Amino acid sequence: MDVQISMETTFDDGTRRTHRLGDLSRPYRLTNSEALGLLLSDAKAIISQIQRAILTDQLEEVVAVNRTCSACGSTKSIHDYRTRVFDTAFGRFRHQVPRLKQCKCGVAAGYKCRGEQSPVAKIFPDRATPELCRLQTELGSRHSFREAARIMETFLPCAKQINTTVRNRLGRVAQSFIDREPAQISVDEDAQSPPLTVFLDGAHIRCRPEYQKRHLDVVVGKVESPNMCRRFGLVAQAGPSPSGQLRQDLLALGWDGQRPVTVISDGEPALPNLIRAAVDGRVRHILDWWHISMRVQHIENAVKGLLQTESFTGFPELFKRPAETLRWCLWHGKIMTAGTRLKLLMIDSGRVTTEDAAVRAAAARVEARCRELYTYLGNNWDALTNYGWRHRNGFSISSSRAEGCVDDIGNARMGKSRRMRWSPRGAHNVAVTRAAVLDGRLSVSHQEMAA
Ligand SMILES: [Zn+2]
């Protein structure tokens, strides 16, 4: 059999035009599984033809409409033709587009212009369509730029993709996210801004050698309100104002600029400071429970190890009681008591003096673990809270949700196992766009921009 493919355009003024797009031949005698139905190569060719036909007709209509002066109704004359490139997801096309002279009546020429102008430049100032840029951004933030280029060429009749182009377009889209004005908040005196919690974590990625550093720190996390959440990723060294972007994310989730924001992170002080800068200090920092719990676990194991040492002759209760109640005290926010328990454990394990090396080593381990937790708590004294109360009342106590973001944003695309080296700017762009892609913000926001 033979298939003819044609397309019919109906313009706004009612005229019609038919395009012959091509033929498909499927001779019966050659029918086999390799020639059943439409093939990818056929589809790519046909889609490219459709795109060319639609683009041609659309440009023709744009020029025709713009040639008529909106003030006096006369036809503007053509100054010259310029070749314009239209890079789309379905092929790259070159079109001769006319530049029109200003109408003699001069009414419409109220604004600054040199006389002639292209009617297409107004609606399409770029070389690539926004859709193509978004597609390159999405794939570039999920895969390496080379891989993204390869995937696009596999499925689409697009022009030959070059990895640096994918990277540059991703950079432009990232910049548009960074430059965007923070959403205007409607100032409603009665409405309260929702309680916002920021979960923070960090990831290390390899740095390119010319930056004289081994690693870059990618800050990733999640902002949550009761009914919305938004991921973010950034490289603090990349831009002049990493906090400005965080502020935008908070405003987008309904923050009113006043209410304190809860930040949950591990003991790394740089992370909450970033938020502090974004919200002018209105931050309630809470130390992640999991990091405390893990250290308590180390003490419990060390004490168990000491008590199980065969030649241990001391009073087991001296070690057992404090170790058992430590977790309870910290969970219920009894920090002073927990501190005292830790001190006691340290003193008692320091007093274990025997000839037996195994007991001495076990006691030294208990002391070291206790000292570790004691220092950790001391450094984050202000960030301790009544975890039990928060947990019972449905508030978060752990930054584990940010750890998912570390995998999604940091490790999957930029992790050390990928053997890629990054510049701060490049890593920042990928982190920003990848967070947007994961949230499904990439397409929505651009439609908003167009509106
Ligand atoms: Zn006119």
Residues 233-258 pLDDT 10s:
888 887 767 777 788 888 888 787 77
Q: How far is the CA of 67 from the centre of ligand 1 (A)?
A: 10
Q: How far is the CA of 66 from the centre of ligand 1 (A)?
A: 11
Round to whole Å and give the CA distance between 52 and 313. Answer: 89
Alpha carbon distances (Å) from 11 to 5, 16, 49, 60, 412: 20, 6, 19, 10, 48
Report the pLDDT value the prediction gives residue 113, as an integer from 0 to 100: 52
Q: How far is the CA of 352 from the centre of ligand 1 (A)?
A: 100
Q: Give the range among 178-182, 210-214, 234-238 with minimum mean pLDDT.
A: 178-182
Q: How far is the CA of 285 from the centre of ligand 1 (A)?
A: 65
Q: How much of the chain, in percent, has pLDDT values that exceed 70?
A: 93
Round to whole Å and give the CA distance between 199 and 193. Answer: 18
Q: How far is the CA of 143 from the centre of ligand 1 (A)?
A: 52
Tell me the pLDDT of the chain averaged across its residues: 84
For residues 198 and 244, the model is more confident at 198
Q: How far is the CA of 121 from the centre of ligand 1 (A)?
A: 20
Residues 6+ apart with CB under 8 A from 402: 199, 200, 201, 220, 221, 222, 264, 265
Highest mean pLDDT among 9-23, 198-212, 278-292, 345-359: 9-23
pLDDT band at residue 448, thresholds of 50, 70 and 90? low
Q: How far is the CA of 98 from the centre of ligand 1 (A)?
A: 18
The domain spans of the chain are 2-123, 290-383
- For residue range 270-305, list pLDDT tens digits in order: 788 888 888 887 788 889 898 899 999 999 999 888
Residues 6+ apart with CB under 8 A from 237: 216, 217, 424
> Is 69 a residue whose pLDDT tops 70?
yes
Q: How far is the CA of 409 from the centre of ligand 1 (A)?
A: 55
Q: Give the range among 79-83, 302-306, 408-412 with minimum mean pLDDT.
A: 408-412
> Is 209 a residue whose pLDDT tops 60?
yes
Report the pLDDT value the prediction gives residue 444, as an integer from 0 to 100: 52
Residues 6+ apart with CB under 8 A from 414: 203, 205, 218, 420, 422, 427, 430, 431
Q: How far is the CA of 63 from the centre of ligand 1 (A)?
A: 16
pLDDT band at residue 193, thresholds of 50, 70 and 90? low
Q: How far is the CA of 79 from the centre of ligand 1 (A)?
A: 16
Query: What is the C-alpha radius of gyration for the chain, rounded to an integer number of angstroms?
Result: 32
pLDDT band at residue 52, thresholds of 50, 70 and 90? very high
pLDDT band at residue 451, thresholds of 50, 70 and 90? very low
For residues 126 and 95, the model is more confident at 95
